[in-house]
Amino acid sequence: MTPAKQLLPLLCVSLLLSACSTSNTSKQFIVVPPSESQIETSVKDQVSLTLNAFTPVAGQALPNNSVLEAYKARGYDPIWIKDKKINTSIYKLVDILEQSYTHGLNPIHYHANIIKEYLELKQPSPQQLAEMDVISTIALTSYAHDLSNGRYEPLLIDPNWQLDAPNNNWKDLLYLDSATDMVDSLRLLAPRSPQYQVLQKWLVYYQDLAAKEKDIFVSAGVPLSAGDEGPRVAQLRARLVQLGDIRFSTRKVNEEQFDLRLKDALIRFQRRHHITADGAAGSKTIEMLNVPLETRAKQITYNLERWRWLPSELEANRVWVDLTNYTVNMHLNGELTSMKAVIGKPERKTPVFKGLMTYMVTNPTWRVPHRIARENLLPKLQTDPNYLVKHGYKVYSSWSIGAKELDSTKIDWQGINEDELSFRFEQEPDEGNALGQYKFMFPNKNEIYLHDTPAKHLFREENRAFSSGCVRLENPKEFAREITKGSKQLNEMNKALKNGSNTVISLPTYIPVYLVYFTVVPNANGMLEFRDDIYERDTLMEEAMGYSAFRAKDSI
């Protein structure tokens, strides 16, 4: 008898109906070994059959090969039946799968109802038990993968989203000693970032709130401000209580009076929604107040998925380019330094990706990217043939090394079409250079980098999406000082700046750089910031995910 057939008698289990209750997991399940003639199938057979039957519902392909390999490694020994008993951890697994909506995942992808139907069978056949074993393992594996790496392929959603850091930690779970250990290890697979954990708690809050209460909306009308009275003020107060900006208090207040406490709460709301914080409820503020709870919950789910695309653990030393906040945050040597940034305009989005900063350049020459030359520079030259001379540009015959420098005033720019432009343009180092005095390089296919800029006035703007894709720094001098602190490169940099020389300086330590995009972020007080979706990436997430990850009863 083959090893698989020797183990098959374990698959015939007499399940009592009462044993299906998750509230009594201490009951023992007695296996009644069938005769060989009663055995209709095997776990080995069911692995391939069930894997073929359970094709992906949506998102990434189910990690079927991992399930097959795990069973093969254990000689097709069933995972959920051991010592003539069904491991009661299968009930805990079902609970976890049904609660997957609390991570912004959809329970329908994890077959909890199907597993429960098998468990409710009073006299399951060996084939049904084999099916239950395999389906439960498929569900465990799929959930482990999605919780660890995300359900969806970011590049299939948005070609400009190039940050995906899959890991194989979830596969290790399949080789633990018991089903109990496997189930207990699931919680360790979620991202460890405190921001992820706070987002998850708020998702549950919005989900529970929406299930218990209706949205309290503020009626349209004239702006509301301190001193106003009436039913719309009461609506405003009730909505701020519902959203957590006013904490519950037993203190008696006039619900219809716009007092200073209400104004302070409204200012908090405005700040975390990136609205002008004037403490008055104008049309924009009322619009944000009236966004339904379910819509906010969806936004949180998109951002939880984005966290799952990041590495499970982030480096202690890193540069964090927060695109939706228009900031660059330097996490170096246990300290945080932040500064304003200018990012790509919506038609020239700054992509999301990870790089490794290896060197910087002082007094850089700007080699104009071909697209910018076609779309920006050529129209200016067709208007003013002396534009290059006025702004310190040189033009070369081609992009090849050793290309001949040309006299820009003798070129017929009017006769050149955008598609025919093949010249190379370079702007010499000077105070008007588009890159300023500093360029910080983390080589990547997008040709994106951080740099200085002479256009300092843009940092006074609240929304700073003005560049052609690269990231401009408010204080590049401080940035350069921080990444070279305590090294000989700091002296080298200062000397190069003093001499005005174009110098490449290798960094003493290479630094990971993350360009990230989150539209919901916990603030310092643990409340949620809802940011403008400047690149309309949430819309792409909604189209791709295509479901409402709200409550289990709504999703299944």
Of the residues 20, 370, 451, 457, which is catalytic? 451
Decide if pLDDT at 452 tops 90: yes
The residue segments making up the domain with residue 502 are 315-365+434-517
pTM, two decimal places: 0.86
CATH of the domain at 478: 2.40.440.10
Confidence of residue 56 (pLDDT cuts 50, 70, 90): low
Question: Could you report the per-residue pLDDT of 465-524, keeping only the tens digit for each?
Answer: 999 999 999 999 999 999 999 999 999 999 999 988 999 999 999 999 999 999 999 999
- Quick one: pLDDT at residue 195? 95
Write down the pLDDT at residue 42.
66
Can you give the CATH number for the domain in which 282 is found? 1.10.101.10
Q: Are residues 400 and 441 in the same domain?
A: no
Catalytic site residue from 12, 103, 145, 470: 470
Assigned domain for 98 exists: yes
| Residue 551 counted as domain residue | no
User: What is residue 53's predicted lDDT score, i.e. its pLDDT?
Assistant: 75
- 464 and 338 in a common domain: yes
Q: What per-residue confidence (pLDDT) applies to 123?
A: 82
Choosing from 377, 396, 428, the residue where a domain stops is 428
Q: Do 246 and 347 fall within a single domain?
A: no
Q: What does the pLDDT average to over 236-253?
A: 87
- Pair 341, 463 in one domain: yes
Catalytic residue list contains 470 = yes
User: How far apart are alpha carbons 482 and 330 in whole angstroms?
Assistant: 8
Residue 7 is predicted with a pLDDT of 31
pLDDT of res. 547: 55
Separation in Å, CA 69 to CA 55, 65, 134, 138, 141? 17, 6, 12, 12, 12
d(CA 215, CA 7) in angstroms, rounded, equals 55
Q: Would you state the torsion angle of the CA atoms of residues 193, 194, 198, 200, taken in this order, to the nearest 10 degrees?
A: 30
Q: How far apart are CA 448 and CA 441, in angstroms?
A: 8
Structural domain contains residue 527: no
Active site residue 451: yes
Domain boundary among 145, 162, 195: 195
- If asked whether residues 141 and 38 sit together in one domain, one would say yes
208 domain residue, yes or no: no
CA distance 177 to 169: 16
Q: CA–CA separation, 172 vs 156, rounded Å?
A: 27
Q: What is the pLDDT of residue 182?
A: 97
Within a domain: residue 354? yes
Is the same domain home to 445 and 485?
yes
Number of domains in the chain: 4
Burial 418-437 (b: 16+ CB within 10 A, else e): eeebebbbebebeeebbbbb
pLDDT of 463: 95
Both 138 and 190 in one domain: the answer is yes
118 domain-assigned: yes
